[in-house]
Chains A and B, each alone.
Chain A
Amino acid sequence: MIHIKSFNSNGRGAYDISSLAKDVIEKEKVKDGLLIISVLNQLCALTMIEYEVNLIHDLGKLINEIPSENDFVKLSLFQKSLVVPITDGDLFLGSFQQITLIDLNKDAGERGLAFMVITK
C-alpha cells in the first residue's frame, strides 16, 4: 500500500501536508496502523510542529541561523521520513501537531512524497 503524491510548493518555506496524509488513510480505510511518510526531494525534509504563522516564521529563523550556509547541512538536522500512528481511523497527533514539509528549494514546484501504510 504505497501512495506517491506531489505537493505544489511555492519554494523555500514550510508547508502543512497533514491533509495529504489524511487522504491516504481515508482512501485505504485504515482503522489502526502506522503511516510512514518519506519526502522524495533532495532539498526537503519533514518534521512535526504546530502550523501557526508565527511559529513557522520562528522555524525559518531557526533553520536560517544554523551555522552553515550549506542547505544540505541544515536539512540533515531534520528527517527525510516520519512514522505516525493511526488510531480509530485518524492520525494519532495532538491538536497543535501538524506534519510539515520543510522546503529549501528556491523555486516553486512539485515535491514528491511517498506514503506507506502498515495495518493489522
Chain B
Amino acid sequence: MRILKQEDFFIVTHGPTKLFDITDRVAEIAKDIDIGLINVFSKGSTGGLVVLPRDSNTIENYEKDLWKLIPIYGWRHPGNAYAHLRSSLIGTSINVIVEKGKLLLPPRNGIFFLENQFTNARRRHILVTIIVE
C-alpha cells in the first residue's frame, strides 16, 4: 500500500448551505488508476464533503433541510458555531474506491463540497490522495 500521487485544486464557493459538485474534478485525477483508493479532503473547519445523488431536487432539498440539523443560534462561539458543528459531524474527508478509472459511488451520485459559511467568492482548497497496492 503506497501513495501514488496527491493533487489539489481550488473551488470558489458561496453560502451558507450550498453544495458544489466536485465529482468531475476528482474523477479526472483518478481516471488512470486501475485499482486504488482515493481520499478527498477539504482544508478548513467549516466545510463538509458529502456523497449525494446528482439531481437538482435532491440538492435543493438537502440545502433546505440541512438547516434543521443544527440551530444557527444558541451557541457560545461567536458567529459561526453552527458551521463548525456541522463540519465536525459531517466531516471533511471521504474515501472512495477506484476501479478501472471510475469512482465506485452509488449510481448517479457524486461528491459535493458543502459550504456552511455566510460567504461569497470564498476559495476552498481540496486535496486528492491516491493509494494503490
B6 touches A85 (CB 8 A): yes
Q: How far is the CB of A53 from chain B (nearest CB, A)?
A: 8
Q: How far is the CB of A90 from chain B (nearest CB, A)?
A: 12
**Interface majority SS on A: helix, strand, loop or mixed?**
mixed
B44 touches A92 (CB 8 A): no
B43 touches A93 (CB 8 A): yes
Number of A-B contacts (CB under 8 A): 92
Which of B2, B84, B88, B91 neighbours the largest number of chain A CB atoms within 10 Å of its CB?
B88
**The stretch of B9-17, B72-80, B101-109 that contacts the partner chain:** B72-80
**Interface majority SS on B: helix, strand, loop or mixed?**
mixed
CB < 8 Å neighbour of A49 from B6, B78, B88, B127: B88
Interface status of B93 (Cβ within 8 A of chain A)? yes
A92 touches B43 (CB 8 A): yes
A62 touches B85 (CB 8 A): yes
- Residues in A with CB closer than 8 Å to B1 are 118
Binary A-proximity of B24-56 (CB < 8 A = 1, otherwise 0): 000000000000000101011100000000000
How many residues of chain B get a CB closer than 8 Å to chain A's CBs? 28
A83 touches B88 (CB 8 A): no
Bound together, the chains give a CA A61 to CA B84 distance in angstroms of: 13
A54 touches B76 (CB 8 A): yes
Q: A55-B84, A82-B93, A85-B6 are in contact. List 6 more A-B contacts (CB 8 A).
A: A47-B88, A47-B91, A49-B45, A50-B77, A58-B75, A62-B70
Binding site for A on B (CB under 8 A): 1-4, 6, 39, 41, 43-45, 70, 75-78, 81, 84-85, 87-89, 91-93, 95, 127, 129, 131
Pairs A–B under 8 Å by Cβ, sample size 7: A33-B3, A34-B39, A50-B84, A52-B77, A58-B76, A92-B43, A93-B43
> Which 9 residue pairs across A and B have the least CB separation, nearest first?
A54-B76, A94-B44, A55-B77, A97-B45, A54-B77, A58-B75, A49-B88, A47-B88, A50-B45
